[in-house]
Amino acid sequence: MTADRGTGLRVLAVDDVPLALDELCRLLRDAPEVAEVVAAGDPISALRSIQADRFDAVFLDISMPGLDGIEMASLLAKLSEPPVVVFVTAHEEHALAAYGLGAVDYLLKPVRADRLSTALAKVARLAAAGPPAAPAGGGQRPRRAPDAMAAIRVDNGGRIRYVRRSDVRFVEASGDYVRLHTPSGVHLVRMPISRLEEYWTDAGFARVHRGFLVALSAVRELRSDSVGGLLAHTELGDVPVSRRHARELREQLLRAAQRGELDRTERRP
């Protein structure tokens, strides 16, 4: 945590709805306890801000596409010096999970100034107390970058499940949605493929076509199609590879093979 009694709080506000984010930032900037407010309109931007800088608190919306607030809070809790989390949402049914993750408060939209003041008082008390002591002999623990999107929430007719990234063989764009192809079936998630590419590129996925991502570990071989194009063959089918991505994919597969990372996907009967 970064604040002391004389400087005020540094706060990150996260909401994917622009009007709601603007209103939350306005309320926070009007609060005497707050020295600085940084806005993030999506979870990726929020994670980048947190990795680049330190905040006393994150005021976090719960219902966001891709990585929701509950999942993001669980990632933040793994940092060596996690910021205080305050959830801001229109859905009070998530309160139990929110407090289970160590959130200090839970604000319902529209946020009232008096409730915000109560939440900020809790944040200020924790910030004034300072971070916990470093482990004996080990000095300060390094900040770990959160592993964003190790699992994706899938809503299906009122039922919620989570699909592990390690189970996904390839991803197919479908308008504003993506289809996650796994051995257990195809799962539809509302998220542009470009955003998922940002989350998963460092986790072994490659963009091979305007409409496809593929897990490098799932590629069994490269094949030519009937018109001379390139296909990445997986246990769940062939993935088209565009000409501009072909050379890069070959190089990525070679590097992965040298590291012994190919064909690690779980084989299912």
Beta strand 221-224 with 230-234: parallel, antiparallel or unpaired? antiparallel
Q: Please, is 64 exposed, middle or buried when counting C-beta atoms within 10 Å of its C-beta (0-12, 13-18, 19+)? A: buried
Q: What is the pLDDT of residue 261?
A: 67
Look up residue 186 and give its two tokens. Answer: 């195809």
Question: CATH: 3.50.50.60, 3.40.50.2000, 2.40.50.1020, 3.40.50.300. Which one for 151-258?
Answer: 2.40.50.1020
Residue scoring higher pLDDT (90 or 213)? 213
Q: How many CA atoms lie within 13 A of 126 on its CB side?
A: 20
Q: What is the pLDDT of residues 158-201, one digit of tens each?
A: 777 788 899 999 999 998 899 999 999 999 998 889 888 888 88
CA dist 64 to 59, 154, 252, Å?
13, 12, 32
Q: What is the pLDDT of residues 240-269, one digit of tens each?
A: 999 999 989 988 888 877 777 665 544 333
CA dist 115 to 120, 121, 140, 255, 269, Å?
9, 10, 35, 53, 54
The full set of domain ranges for the chain reads 9-129, 151-258
Q: What is the pLDDT of residue 96?
A: 54
Quote the Cα angle for 122-103-108, to 5°: 85
Q: Which run of H or of E encompasses 222?
A: strand 221-224
Question: CATH: 3.40.50.720, 3.40.50.2000, 3.40.50.2300, 3.20.20.80. Which one for 9-129?
Answer: 3.40.50.2300
